[in-house]
Amino acid sequence: MVGSRPATIHHVDRDGTQVVGRVAMLLRFVTSAEGGVTTAETVAATGLTRTTAHRLLSALAREGLLDSEPGSGRWHAGPELFVLGRVATGRFDVVETARPLVRSLAARTGESAFLSVRRGDETVCLLREEGSFPVRSHVLHEGIRFPLGVASAGLVLLAFSPAADVDDFLRRHPDLGTEFPGHTETPLRRRLRETTRRGFAVNPGLLVEGSWGLAAPVFDRAGEAVWALTLTGIQSRLSGARQRELGGLLLDHAHELTGRLSRGGR
C-alpha cells in the first residue's frame, strides 16, 4: 500500500483579494489531503504564520466549511462544502456521466480507476473506483492536486495541449523538477512526445517507486483536453504487453466519455 501527501501550495495572492485568496488556498489544501491536515502541516505548506493559519481555519470551521477532528485536531472538509458541492452538481455533472465508465475500467482491469480534471496549471482528482486486485496505490484520491506534467493525468493533459501552452507552462514553473524529481524540462518534454505518439501517458513510478499510472485524455466540445481517465497499479501489472492492452482500453473509455459529454451526458 502506497501513501500520499497533500499538494504543496505555491503562492498566495498579495493584493486586495488576499483574504479571499488565502481562504481558497486553505480550502484547496485541506481537501487535497485524504486524511485531513494539521495546523502545522498547513503552516509549512502555505507559508502563513501559525496564528494566521489557525485563525482562518477556525473561522472556516465556524461557517461549516471545515471540520476539526476531536482529539487529533486534524482539519477536514466540512458539511457546508457538501451542500455547496451538491448545488454546483447541476452545472458540473461530468462526474456522474463518467462514473459508469470509471467503474467499468476498475471492474475490467482489477486496477484502481480515476477521473481527473484540469484546473489551471494543476489536475484535480474527482472520482476514484477501486479494482479487485488486492495491492493498491494510494498516490491518487479524490481531491488531491498535482501540477500538470506530474502523474499520468497531468502528463497526458499537458501532452495534448497546444505547443505554445506547454512552453508557457514550463516558463511559469522552472522549479518543477525540484519538488518532483525526474520532472525537469528535458525528460518531461521527452515524455510529452512519447505520450502524444502513444496516445496515452505512462508514469513509471516517478512519484512513488513501484506505483505506475496510465492515463488517456478526454476532450470537451471545443476539442480541448480537459479531463483524464487513469489506471494505477504496481509495475508488473502496468508494464509490457498488458500496458498496451490497458492503454487501448483506456483510450476506448476516454473516447466514449468524450462522446457522452459532447451529447450532454447521455
Dump pLDDT digits (tens) for 42-80.
999 888 899 998 899 999 989 888 988 888 889 998 888
Question: ∠90-91-94 over CA atoms, to 5°?
Answer: 90
Over residues 148-152, mean pLDDT: 95
pLDDT in tens, 133-146: 876 666 778 888 89
| pLDDT > 90: percent of the chain | 55
Comparison of pLDDT for 210 and 198, the residue scoring more: 198
Q: Which domains does the chain have, with CATH numbers?
A: 18-87 (1.10.10.10), 92-262 (3.30.450.40)
Q: Is the pLDDT of residue 179 over 50?
A: yes
Q: Characterize 181-220 residue by residue with b for buried, 16 or more Cβ atoms within 10 angstroms of its Cβ, and e for exposed.
A: eebeeeebeebbeebeebbbbbbbbbbbeebbbbbbbbbe
CA nearest to 251, candidates 193, 188, 202, 203: 202
Question: ∠157-178-120 over CA atoms, to 5°?
Answer: 30
The DSSP code sequence of 77-94 is: E-HHHHHHHHHHHTT--H
* Band of pLDDT at residue 205, cut at 50, 70 and 90: very high
Residue type, 261: L
Alpha-carbon gap, residue 246 to 250, rounded angstroms: 6
Q: Is the pLDDT of residue 147 over 90?
A: yes
Amino acid 18: pLDDT: 81
Where do the H-state alpha helices sit in 150-201?
151-159, 163-172, 176-179, 185-198
pLDDT in tens, 209-248: 889 999 999 999 899 999 999 999 999 999 999 999 999 9
Q: Is the pLDDT of residue 9 over 70?
A: no
Q: Is the pLDDT of residue 12 over 50?
A: no
Alpha-carbon gap, residue 26 to 53, rounded angstroms: 8
Comparison of pLDDT for 218 and 29, the residue scoring more: 218
Amino acid 4: pLDDT: 44
Whether pTM > 0.75 for this model: the answer is no
